[in-house]
Amino acid sequence: MSQAAALMNEAPAGFFEDLQAHALSPGWAKKAPQMWPVPRPRFAPAVWRYADARAALDRACSFVSPEQAERRNLIMVNPIADNIYPTCRNLVAAYQLVLPGETARSHRHSPNALRLILDAGRETFTIVNGVQVGVAPGDVVLTPSWHWHGHSNFGDEPAFWIDFLDVPLVQNLECMYFEDHPQRNEPVTRCEPDSALRTKGVDLERGMRAQGTVDIARGGLKTIGLQAIGLAQGDTQVRGKRIDNSLYTVTAGEVRMTVEHLGVVDLVRGDVIVIPGWHTSRIEGRSEWAQLIRVSDEPVMEALGFREVTGTETDAG
């Protein structure tokens, strides 16, 4: 018999019922452990294919418009039991489509967000706090907390991108705010093609070819970290168990990912893989040149000081 069980047997009749009536619980007889030696990730590694999402979004165009929905998007929901929204513990990702001639209305919210552009023509824009920012494939555009933002496609090609947000983190912290713009579409006050909120794909590729891995707009979002990773054929990156959660998107070429509890998967442009905390992984370049964007909650862990904590396992993060 465990010590906790023995203590429960020694308690006078009605003691625990009386505790429950007063919203109290005995710390010596917890129903389940609340602390453990190393992290126990609830979320699972998973993969989403751009081809599947693009085909589904194309079909959705016949019955979903920006007037009917806040955004025409497909959320990457982690396939664990009872999950209806997050991609991993603190982040969510979604594929979005804006057709030629469409405008996604302006709003703002407390979660931080960013867009990774997959396909877009010349006349595709994001408007952030009145600033019109042009976008092109491979670009990363930031939308910091509580910034007005909307999207317009004035060209003749459909625009596809991936949205990444820290909504699950904000929900857990219970500090969610959301507001639609009173004019539906925020008026443009000026155009900034080289806005500090935009990191161009061509600049990222130049940096990746020179350095391999480069930080993107470090500190631009307080809760989300961004890196661009370039791999020649046969190049590898190996990551041990870490407490941060990562989402990788291939933006050029092909890579092979080997992930604990998932196995080996090959990814091509636009595909996304989530690697929750405390999973080992290995990335290998499979084409002459491959590029990925890593989105993570690493800044959250660093700000809270948890990156300094080392578990009992080797490479414990």
Residue extents of the structural domains in the chain: 46-308
Q: What pLDDT score was predicted for residue 304? A: 93
Tell me the per-residue pLDDT of 33-90, one tens digit each, with 9 for 90 and over.
999 999 999 999 999 999 999 999 999 999 998 777 778 999 999 999 999 999 999 9
| Residue keyed to tokens 């625990």 | 16
CATH class of 46-308: mainly beta
3-state secondary structure of 29: helix
pLDDT in tens, 78-105: 999 999 999 999 999 999 999 999 999 9
pLDDT of residue 315: 38
In tens, the pLDDT along 190-204 reads 999 999 999 999 999
Q: What are phi and psi of 250, to 5 degrees?
A: -80, 125
Spell out the residues 6+ positions from residue 278 whose beta carbon is closer than 8 angstroms to its own: 38, 39, 40, 41, 241, 242, 243, 317
Q: Can you give the pLDDT at residue 68? A: 78
Give the pLDDT score at 2.
58
Give dist(CA 254, CA 257) in Å, integer: 10
| Residue type at 252 in one-letter notation | A
Report the alpha-carbon distance of residue 208 to residue 228 in Å, rounded: 7
Report the pLDDT value the prediction gives residue 311, as an integer from 0 to 100: 45
Task: Say what the pLDDT of residue 5 is.
Answer: 61
Question: Can you give the pLDDT at residue 6?
Answer: 61
> Residues in the chain, how many?
317
Of 298, 54, 45, 73, whose CA–CA distance to 166 is shortest?
298
Structure tokens at 18: 């009386």
Measuring CA to CA, which residue among 241, 257, 239 is closest to residue 249? 257
pLDDT of 316: 34
Dihedral class, residue 121 (left if φ above 0, else alpha if ψ from -120 to 50, else beta): beta
Report residues of the chain scoring pLDDT below 70: 1-8, 308-317
